[in-house]
Structure 1
Amino acid sequence: MDETFTPYAIYHEDNVIGVAAVEYIPENDSEDKHWIPRFMIGREYQGKGYGLKAMEALIGMIAKHEDCERIRLSVVPENKGAIAFYEKVGFHMTEETIEGELVMEYLLRS
């Protein structure tokens, strides 16, 4: 089991409507410790504001870490909807790629 990776179910009332995961890698450089490697909202729940609320909750939870300067994630370049969503939340594109995916980050402190 990967102790750096923590999965979460995203609920609306009593229904699971999505999944998310956060990853904390303490040995990484300060700008590269906190990741959201998974974030998915079920198709029938998309466009209703649930994703935005869930992402804001994740950011708030991760931001409580004293060593959190930024939160990073990666996205497939062709997934324009996900890119637009992450930009709406406050993530911005970096010049990095990981395994063919674009890296985006949310700055808390620099």
Structure 2
Amino acid sequence: MFVYKIDEELSLRMFNEKDATEFFQLTIQSKEYLKEWLGWLDYTNEEEDSLAFIKATLKGVIETGGYPKTTAIIYKGNIAGIIGFNEINRLHKIGVMGYWLGQQFQGKGIMMRACKAYIAYGFNELDLNRIEIRVAEENKKSRAIPEKLGFQEEGKIRQAEWLYDHYVDHVIYGLLAEEWKQNN
């Protein structure tokens, strides 16, 4: 099983079906908090929904030739959130990264460390040339991550996502493998 140890308290690992209960509980506990920026939460209402998501992530391993597209963020032994490539274009070697963290795990530097590790994984293991992060324009916490990690703000997609009762614009950030390697 894929496990990427970041430090003594943080690692990334491939989901397995046994994670469904814990992952569902994390999602439900953070649901109202996460709804500000994630539009899919109304479709997660029972543990089976989380299990279906996990099964889909396991199929993603086949698409990448044995590498997970999505991993659980494990903080001190508990699932704290998720990080992964929502899309991978193998022809052009582009990955579009997404992430979220449970409310109780905010403010500990977890996501910054997880993103840095996942970017290295994308460039070094998946042989990507470009990684994109798309973030709702007003989501300042999430925008701070690519900005601190050396991504370039490249533009905005107007009304890119429907969030329950309104559209939000997305800012697109991009980072090239050569830029990452120069700075790391």
TM-score range, shorter chain: 0.7 to 0.9
5+ residue gaps in structure 2?
1-55, 161-168, 180-184
Select the structure that is richer in strand.
Answer: 1
Cross-structure match for 2:176: 107
Partner of 1:47: 107
Q: 8 Å contact 1:70–1:109 — kept in the other structure? A: no
1:4-43, aligned counterparts within 5 Å?
6-22=69-85, 23-27=87-91, 29-30=92-93, 33-36=94-97, 38-43=98-103
Task: Give the superposed CA RMSD.
Answer: 2.4
- Percentage of identical aligned residues: 25
Task: Name 2:23's counterpart in structure 1.
Answer: none
Provide the rounded CA distance (Å) in 2 between the counterparts of 1:80 and 1:12: 23
Q: What residue number does 1:95 align with?
A: 155
The Cα of 1:96 is off from its aligned counterpart by 4.4
2:149 counterpart letter in structure 1: V
Using structure 2 for the length normalisation, give the TM-score.
0.50
- Is the partner of 1:55 in helix, strand or coil? helix
2:128 corresponds to which residue? 68
2:77 and 2:125 map into 1 onto residues whose CA distance is 29
Sort the Cα spacing of 1:52 and 1:71 in 2 relative to 1 into closer, same or farther, 3 A.
same
Cα deviation 1:15-69 (Å, max 9, x = unaligned): 0111112132113x45xx2110x20112221221111111111011001157522
Structure 1: any 5+ residue segments left out of the alignment? Answer: none
Aligned residue pairs, count? 106
Task: Provide the C-alpha distance between the structure 2 equivalents of 1:76 and 1:25, rounded to a whole number of angstroms.
Answer: 22
- The TM-score normalised by the length of structure 1 is 0.79
**Cα contact 2:70–2:82 (8 A) shared by 1:** yes
Structure 2 Cα separation of the partners of residues 91 and 52 of structure 1? 13
Task: Report how far residue 13 of structure 1 moved.
Answer: 2.2
Structure (1 or 2) with the larger CA radius of gyration: 2
**More helix, by proportion:** 2
Show structure 1 runs of 4+ deviating over 3 A.
1-5
